[in-house]
Amino acid sequence: MSVLLQGGKAFGPFTSGREIYVKPASGSDGHDGKTPGRAVKTLSKALSLATANQNDVVYLISEGATGALSTDYLSAALDWDKNGVHLIGINSGNGVSPRSRISWVSGMTATADTVMFTVSATNCYFANIQICNFAADANLAFNCEITGDRNKFYNCHFAGIGDNLQDAAGAYSLLLTNSSENLFKECTIGLDTIARGTAANSEILFGGVGVNGCARNKFVDCEIITWAEAAGHQFVIVPEASIDRWNLFKRCSFINMPTGIASGTTMTEALDVTSGGVPNGCLVLKDCSFFGVGDVEAAASGYVLIHGSAVTAADNSLGGANAPS
């Protein structure tokens, strides 16, 4: 099977590993997953069949436009924990809500804080996947956490805080914890269908402290989207000592649905960066745009380095100068 990806290059036939096919609507975990006709039903089964460090490729095949025909509905948290095992969604590749999805099963609840999808593995490639969390439970307000290093996410959508009950402290669409040298290329991060921000949460959260803080992660040509109902909401939260060296946002658009457009609220600041501690890395913003916010940082931390061109206030957008904020 040949799957066309970025630049017309094919991913699949040249792999040294196994190809495993998943059809969440019609597959069966009694199958071996070796062909689309013998697809397994769940990603957990596919991962159990894969071998680490062999460049096995798992294909999550959309069988239609609806959630029921395109989604692996999880009844337990899933940890992608095998190095060098790749996950490719087979769909139109549209980037926003692509039809190869991972989500909680309807009615899912938990008695303790639970992350839906974790990537603890290293050296994995993910493409055309939506990780979407719509559970009506504050304990499930944690969409996707990356703890592994040197993974690439291309054309993926991280869609957290998908229910009003998830508007809880610490909730996120994407969390990086002591995770370094990952690339997010042409990804969408966040949701603009559920208002958020009454609690301290964000679309992207950095986590972990000490010598293993997040370093050298790159977000390139991404859209970070939100719908704030409180001015104190932020796109990105960086706690003290959670990042090391640099983390780059390049040609990214930070889009909030502000007052007068979608009954939202203009946010006071886009980024909440706490300085100090060890390590004390920085965020680098290169040619980024901000919409529906008053400032990049309300109080300059000195740990945000901005390069770009200023734009007019009439756009309800914000550009940066060549200076730290």
> In the structure encoding, which two tokens stand for residue 218, read together?
């790159």
Helices and strands in the chain, H and E counts: 1, 31
| pLDDT for residue 227 is more than 50 | yes
Asked whether residue 263 carries a pLDDT value surpassing 70, the answer given is yes
Give the pLDDT mean for 14-36: 92
- Give the predicted TM-score (pTM) of the model: 0.91
Report how far residue 287's alpha carbon sits from residue 309's, in angstroms, rounded to the nearest whole number: 7
Structure tokens belonging to residue 27: 């597959």
Q: Return the closest-CA partner of residue 154 out of 102, 70, 218, 206.
A: 218
**d(C-alpha 100, C-alpha 171), whole Å:** 23
| 197 contacts 232 by C-beta, under 8 angstroms | yes
Give the per-residue pLDDT at 7: 44
Rounded Cα distance, 133 and 139, in Å? 12
CA 242/CA 237 separation, integer angstroms: 10
* pLDDT of amino acid 92: 94
Q: Minimal CA–CA distance to 89: which of 53, 55, 130?
A: 130
pLDDT digits (tens, 9 = 90+) for 298-307: 888 888 988 8
- Say if CB 179 and CB 214 are below 8 A apart: yes
pLDDT at 14: 53
| 285-297 average pLDDT score | 93
CB atoms within 10 A of CB 314: 6
Rounded distance between C-alpha atoms, residue 280 and residue 278, angstroms: 5
For the ranges 6-15, 148-157, 192-201, 297-306, the lowest mean pLDDT is seen at: 6-15
The whole-angstrom separation of Cα 303 and Cα 292 is 22
Per-residue tokens: 164? 């009003």
Q: How many CA atoms lie within 13 A of 52 on its CB side?
A: 8
The mean per-residue pLDDT over the stretch 234-254 comes to 94
Q: 197-211: per-residue pLDDT in tens?
A: 889 999 999 987 656
Predicted confidence (pLDDT) at residue 155 exceeds the cutoff of 60: yes
The pLDDT of residue 107: 96
Position 316 pLDDT exceeds 80: no
pLDDT band at 276 (very low <50, low <70, confident <90, very high): confident
Identify the DSSP state of 231. Answer: T
- Minimum mean pLDDT among 44-58, 67-81, 246-260: which range? 246-260
| Mean of per-residue pLDDT scores for the chain | 89
Contact 199, 168 (CB under 8 A): yes
Confidence grade of residue 9 (pLDDT, cut at 50, 70, 90): very low
pLDDT value at 84 more than 70: yes
Amino acid at 231: A
Enumerate the domain spans of the chain: 94-324
Residue 314 binned pLDDT confidence (cut-offs 50, 70, 90): very low
Query: What gap in Å lies between CA 194 and CA 290, rounded to an integer?
Result: 20
pLDDT at position 264: 82
Structure tokens given for 79: 């940890």
pLDDT, residue 323, reads 39
Average pLDDT (81-108) is 96
Phi/psi for 59 (5° steps) reads -110, 120
Bridge-based pairing of strands 130-132 and 304-307 is: unpaired
185: which residues sit within 8 A by CB, 6+ positions away? 6, 152, 153, 154, 155, 220, 221, 222
Answer whether residue 11 shows pLDDT above 70.
Answer: no
